[in-house]
Each structure stands twice: as structure tokens, then as C-alpha cells.
Structure 1
Amino acid sequence: MKTLKQHVDALFKNIPDSEEKETIKQEILENLEEKVQDLMGQGKEEEDAINKAIIEFGDIDEIKQELLQKTIPVKKNMSKINLGFSIWGSLLIISLFVFANFYYTPDEIWFVYPTFVVLWWPLSMFFYWLRTK
């Protein structure tokens, strides 16, 4: 049954080591060994039984994908922090425009125009936050 162990090891060679990986490898190996024993009980020779068990077992792409997803760290959702930062940042920029407007040109109100431009930043972060929620 050394061939089966080598085959299972080859299937999982690109997966990082973990306890779950070893458990799954052991289960697959046991299932393959049982299948080989059943085939040998039906009159097949050991080599033919091993080859047939491997072929019938098929591919384990879904299992590999699941193991890889568990080992890859999940990215933290920063959209809420980005939204808060954009709101505070735009408030500071708008307050700078209001101060400059009333300090240098109090007779003419112009701070409203750049305010509309600056408000696109938190608005876009808000819709991004809604989409990732």
C-alpha cells in the first residue's frame, strides 16, 4: 500500500501543513485501502486493484480549494474605517474652505463650490461600504 500513500502525498503536496490536512489525507488513504481490499477480494491482483482504486477515486480539487481557503488569512473589511476617515477628512477640508472664504473674502460666498467637489469622497466611500456590507 506504499503506492497509495505516495499517491495521496502527491495529491496534497501543494497544501500547507495543518492538522486538518493530515486528517483528510488519512481518511482518503483509508478509503483507498478499503477499495483496494474490496477489489482484491473480487479477484483482482494488487497492482490492478490499486490502479483501479486511484482512477475511480478521481480528483480532489474541491478538497484542495477548501483547505487552501482555510489557510489563507481573511482580509479585514476596512470600508467602515475608510468611510469614517473620508467623512472627517472632508469636514476638515470644507472647514478650511469656509475659514478661507470668510477670512479673505467675506463679501463673496464661494466655499459652496469646492464643498460639492469634496463631498464626492465620503459619498463614494459610503457606497463602497454599502456594497461590501
Structure 2
Amino acid sequence: MQYSLLVTAGPDARAATTALRAAEAVLARGHRIFRIFFYRQGVLLASRLPRVGDNEHDICAAWRAFIDKHQLDAVVCVSAALRRGVLDQGEADRLGAGAGNLAPEFALSGLGQWAEATAISDRVLSFGR
């Protein structure tokens, strides 16, 4: 079975961790993840800049490691990302913002990528508001 995930929960929301655990469970059960789409506050998970205290769980780093380990298609909504200051180097250059902060495991794209994911996937899971 092929899944796609919509993550709208930001780093401070419990749903961001729940989404990661669900994605791990999908793969552990032998299913496939077509795409993970980060939208609304979920785009903040794709920033490479957050730092957490020594005794805190770094959910952004956990997402990066998971995506990298499984070579997953992780797409960040470009409009939601721009509104929240999450930029790849191309957008940073275009906007004169200096350096981009999008982690390399993620790609900026539009809602068309999410529409494609829902059309192709057998199941869609949504996490956040």
C-alpha cells in the first residue's frame, strides 16, 4: 500500500512527533511512502536553523534523519514557507535574503505536489490542524 502524509503541525506541536512515528510505522509494516507534504506550521520542521536544549527532543533533526535514511520525497509548500521565512537558496537569492535555511532533505514546491500525492496514494494521513 502506498501512503502520503500531510504535516501541518509545527515543531512545538505533539502532532509533529505523532506524524513521524506514524511514518516510521508505515515503513516498518512494509508499506511505501510516496510523499510527505509539509504545510502551514509544518513548514517550520524543514528549517535547518532551530536549536534545542540538551535535554529536549529535536523533532526537526529527527525528521531530517528519517527523510534522509529512507530517501523520501519531502515537499514543503513554497507559499507557506515564504510566509514563515523558510527559504531555499534559490528563493533567498531571488528575494535578496542572503542565505537560505531550508534543510537539504526538503524541496520547495506548490500545492500541485500535494494534489498529485492524493491522487496517486492509496491512503492519505493528515497531522495537525
TM interval, short-chain normalised: under 0.3
TM-score w.r.t. structure 2 length? Answer: 0.24
- For CA contacts below 8 A with separation 6 or more, give which structure has more relative contact order: 2
Which entry has the higher C-alpha Rg, 1 or 2?
1
